[in-house]
Structure 1
Amino acid sequence: MKFLQWLHRWTGLILLIQLMLWTVSGLYFALVDHHGMGGQQYFSQEQPEPLSRAQLAKLSSDWWDDLNGVTQVLTYRALGLPRVEVHHQDGIRYLDGRDGSRWQTNEDFAQQIAQASYSGPGSLARVTPIERTRELRDWRGQGFRIDFDDDLNTRVYVDRTSGTVIDHRNTPWVVADWMFRLHFIDYTGGRNFNNLVAIVVAVMTLWFALSGFILLVKLLNSGEMRFTLRKASLSASVGGQAFKFTDKAHKTVLQVLQHNDITVESGCGGGGTCGFCVVKASPDTPITVSDRSQLSQTQLNEGYRLSCQHSIETLHQVEVPETDARKYSLRLKESRFITPMLRELRFEVDEEQVEYAAGQYMQFLIPAGAGQSRPVDIPEDFVSEWHAIAATNFRHDAVRRSYSMATAAGGTELVFTVRYQPQSSGAPAPGVGSSYLCNLKPGETIVAEGPYGDFQRLEGAERKLCFIGGGAGMAPLRALIQEELESHSPRPIQFFYGARNRGELLYMDEFVELDNANKLRFIPVLSSPREACKWSHAQGFVHETAKAWLEQRDISEYDFYICGPPRMLAATLTMLNELGVDSSRVRYDDFGN
Structure 2
Amino acid sequence: MHKFMRALHNYLGLILFIQIGLWFLSGLVMAYLPIEEVRGNHLRQRVNTPWQQATVSPQQVLSTFDDNATLRLTHRLQTTPSALLSTPVYQVNSNDTLFRFNAVNGEALLPLEKSTIASLAEAQYQGEGAIVDTVLLSTLPQEVQNLSAPLWQVTFDDDLETRFYIDPNTGAVTRVRTNTWRLFDFMWMLHIMDYKDRSNFNSPLLIAFSASAFLFTLTGVVLLYRRFKPRRRRSIFKGQSF
Q: TM over 0.5, yes or no? A: yes
Match of 2:100 among 86, 95, 99: 95
CA separation of 1:167 and 1:56: change in aligned 2, threshold 3 A: same
Asked whether the 8 Å contact 2:143–2:177 carries over to 1, the reply is yes
Match of 1:137 among 145, 148, 164: 145
Asked whether the 8 Å contact 2:46–2:124 carries over to 1, the reply is yes
Give the unaligned 5+ runs of structure 1: 230-593
Asked whether 1:31 is paired with 2:66, we answer no
2 CA distance for matches of 1:228 and 1:4?
20
1 CA distance for matches of 2:201 and 2:86?
43
TM-score (norm 2): 0.71
CA deviation map 1:45-91 (0-9, x unaligned): 122245857x749x942467346474754566644685523477999
1 CA distance for matches of 2:78 and 2:72?
18
Match of 2:129 among 122, 141, 144: 122
2 CA distance for matches of 1:166 and 1:67?
31
Match of 1:184 among 192, 196, 214: 192
Could you tell me which residue of structure 2 aligns to residue 8 of structure 1?
Answer: 9
1:179-218 pair list within 5 angstroms: 179-208=187-216, 212=219, 216=223
Match of 1:169 among 177, 180, 196: 177
CA separation of 1:51 and 1:127: change in aligned 2, threshold 3 A: farther
- Stretch deviating more after TM superposition (107-116 or 75-84): 75-84
Could you tell me which residue of structure 2 aligns to residue 84 of structure 1?
Answer: 89
Asked whether the 8 Å contact 2:48–2:86 carries over to 1, the reply is no
Asked whether the 8 Å contact 1:125–1:147 carries over to 2, the reply is yes
Give the C-alpha shift of residue 32 in structure 1.
2.9
Asked whether the 8 Å contact 2:73–2:88 carries over to 1, the reply is no
Asked whether the 8 Å contact 1:104–1:163 carries over to 2, the reply is no
Three-state SS of the structure 1 residue aligned to 2:165 is strand
CA separation of 1:216 and 1:87: change in aligned 2, threshold 3 A: farther
Three-state SS of the structure 2 residue aligned to 1:156 is strand
Could you tell me which residue of structure 1 aligns to residue 168 of structure 2?
Answer: 160
Match of 1:112 among 101, 105, 119: 119
Give the C-alpha shift of residue 13 in structure 1.
3.0
Q: Which protein has the bigger strand share?
A: 1
1 CA distance for matches of 2:97 and 2:75?
13
1 CA distance for matches of 2:40 and 2:141?
15
CA separation of 1:161 and 1:227: change in aligned 2, threshold 3 A: same
Of the two structures, which has the highest relative contact order with CA contacts closer than 8 Å and spacing of 6 or more?
Answer: 2
Asked whether the 8 Å contact 2:62–2:71 carries over to 1, the reply is no
Three-state SS of the structure 2 residue aligned to 1:41 is helix
2 CA distance for matches of 1:18 and 1:51?
55
TM-score (norm 1): 0.32
Give the C-alpha shift of residue 129 in structure 1.
1.7
CA separation of 1:10 and 1:103: change in aligned 2, threshold 3 A: farther
Asked whether the 8 Å contact 2:136–2:150 carries over to 1, the reply is yes
Match of 1:227 among 213, 226, 229: 229
Could you tell me which residue of structure 1 aligns to residue 234 of structure 2?
Answer: none
- Tell me the number of residue pairs that the alignment of Structure 1 and Structure 2 aligns: 221
CA separation of 1:92 and 1:198: change in aligned 2, threshold 3 A: farther
CA separation of 1:148 and 1:214: change in aligned 2, threshold 3 A: closer
Three-state SS of the structure 1 residue aligned to 2:212 is helix
**Residue type at the aligned position of 1:17:** I
Could you tell me which residue of structure 2 aligns to residue 467 of structure 1?
Answer: none
Give the C-alpha shift of residue 151 in structure 1.
1.7
Three-state SS of the structure 2 residue aligned to 1:157 is strand
1 CA distance for matches of 2:135 and 2:77?
25
**Residue type at the aligned position of 1:152:** L
Give the C-alpha shift of residue 130 in structure 1.
0.9
**Residue type at the aligned position of 1:61:** V
Three-state SS of the structure 1 residue aligned to 2:100 is strand
Match of 1:149 among 137, 141, 157: 157
CA deviation map 1:316-366 (0-9, x unaligned): xxxxxxxxxxxxxxxxxxxxxxxxxxxxxxxxxxxxxxxxxxxxxxxxxxx
**Residue type at the aligned position of 2:132:** A
2 CA distance for matches of 1:130 and 1:63?
34
CA separation of 1:15 and 1:99: change in aligned 2, threshold 3 A: same
2 CA distance for matches of 1:89 and 1:157?
27
2 CA distance for matches of 1:152 and 1:66?
49
1 CA distance for matches of 2:47 and 2:86?
14
Asked whether the 8 Å contact 2:137–2:150 carries over to 1, the reply is yes
Could you tell me which residue of structure 2 aligns to residue 369 of structure 1?
Answer: none
Give the C-alpha shift of residue 95 in structure 1.
0.3
Asked whether the 8 Å contact 1:156–1:169 carries over to 2, the reply is yes
1 CA distance for matches of 2:198 and 2:210?
19
Give the C-alpha shift of residue 127 in structure 1.
0.9
2 CA distance for matches of 1:149 and 1:183?
30
Give the C-alpha shift of residue 157 in structure 1.
0.5
**Residue type at the aligned position of 1:194:** N
Three-state SS of the structure 1 residue aligned to 2:187 is helix
**Residue type at the aligned position of 1:39:** G
Give the C-alpha shift of residue 121 in structure 1.
1.1
**Residue type at the aligned position of 2:89:** V
**Residue type at the aligned position of 1:85:** Y
CA deviation map 1:177-199 (0-9, x unaligned): 11222233333343211013202
Could you tell me which residue of structure 2 aligns to residue 266 of structure 1?
Answer: none
Give the C-alpha shift of residue 31 in structure 1.
3.0
Three-state SS of the structure 2 residue aligned to 1:167 is strand
2 CA distance for matches of 1:67 and 1:9?
70
2 CA distance for matches of 1:90 and 1:203?
51
Give the C-alpha shift of residue 146 in structure 1.
0.3
Q: Which protein has the bigger helix share?
A: 2
